[in-house]
């Protein structure tokens, strides 16, 4: 590859090449941190049940680990198997999901459970070979790796952080395809489950020390503030509907303690929930779909 001028930095093939020695040093660093400080007690790391691993992966999307730990246990007490989740109503699922945010994930998880039991007769491994609601390349690879120990290479924010910090110092923007090239080499001959857990834990550690190097990834999306956001209004509306259908006036009344900015977003939030299939209106009242 010739030298490339991107307006600020000059990159050459030599600067971007990664040799086996660098890969080896990186592995040793990651494994050492994992041995000494890894999050070995995370409950979803103690199971090979593909359903339980899938639940954790849906919950961990855009949500911090401490918040997920409590909800994960609550959710599995109520829905311990994919069959039980599939037979639940969306209202029951969203009531348990409340507090995690991004309620569409709960809806997608519910829909996936129904697909697994319906189209694939309870065979989650087979279902993962096909499109599933809310399941992208990372989630699919994660479940297949952590449940079945398949040697997939995957990227999420902490894994990106680990690679960007070590191999792309000073580079302004890094593409996933470049990271994947190195990640694939680094994963060779490593236990796929333990290696990816180690990468995640090491990356989470690096983010605390270096202001999140993953921000230099072209895949990085900054999460908007929750306070005063549409997400907050959407969550409040769903909580108001957990137990019974309500008129629009009654929902507004239930939201009277929210900041004025949220009340101003009420109609937009309600319309968005309806568009996403989370709520429906019947006989003048709104209810969970």
Q: Tell me the catalytic residues.
A: 57
Output the CA–CA distances (angstroms, integers) from residue 236 to 90, 97, 253, in the order listed. Answer: 16, 13, 11
The rounded distance, in Å, linking the Cα atoms of 27 and 251 is 53
Q: Phi then psi for 215, rounded to 5 degrees?
A: -65, -20
Record the tokens describing residue 229, joined without a space.
């956001």
With contact defined as beta carbons under 8 Å apart, do 185 and 23 qualify? yes
With contact defined as beta carbons under 8 Å apart, do 184 and 19 qualify? no
Q: Sort strands 279-282 and 10-11 into parallel, antiparallel or unpaired.
A: unpaired
Report which DSSP code applies to 26.
H
Report which DSSP code applies to 214.
G
Closest by Cα among 84, 83, 152, 78 to 123? 83
């Amino acid at each position: 590859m010739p030298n490339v001028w991107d307006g600020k930095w000059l990159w050459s093939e030599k600067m971007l090449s990664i040799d086996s020695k660098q890969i080896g040093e990186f592995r040793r660093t990651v494994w050492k941190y994992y041995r000494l400080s890894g999050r070995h007690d995370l409950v979803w790391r103690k199971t090979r049940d593909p359903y339980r691993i899938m639940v954790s992966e849906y919950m961990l999307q855009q949500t911090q680990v401490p918040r997920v730990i409590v909800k994960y246990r609550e959710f599995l007490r109520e829905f311990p198997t994919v069959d039980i989740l599939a037979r639940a109503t969306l209202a029951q699922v969203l009531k348990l999901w409340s507090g995690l945010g991004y309620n569409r994930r709960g809806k997608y998880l519910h829909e996936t459970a129904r697909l697994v039991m319906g189209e694939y007769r309870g065979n989650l491994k087979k279902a993962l070979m096909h499109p599933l609601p809310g399941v992208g390349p990372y989630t699919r690879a994660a479940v297949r790796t952590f449940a079945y120990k398949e040697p997939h290479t995957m990227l999420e924010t902490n894994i990106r952080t680990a690679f960007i910090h070590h191999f792309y110092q000073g580079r302004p923007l890094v593409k996933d395809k470049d990271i994947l090239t190195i990640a694939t080499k680094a994963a060779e001959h490593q236990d796929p489950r333990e290696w990816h857990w180690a990468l995640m834990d090491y990356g989470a550690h690096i983010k605390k020390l270096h202001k999140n190097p993953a921000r230099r990834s072209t895949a990085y999306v900054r999460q908007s503030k929750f306070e005063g956001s549409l997400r907050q209004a959407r969550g409040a509306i769903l909580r108001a509907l957990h137990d019974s259908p309500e008129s629009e006036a009654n929902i507004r009344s239930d939201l009277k303690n929210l900041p004025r900015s949220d009340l101003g977003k009420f109609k937009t939030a309600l319309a968005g929930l309806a568009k996403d299939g989370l709520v429906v209106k019947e006989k003048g009242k709104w209810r969970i779909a």
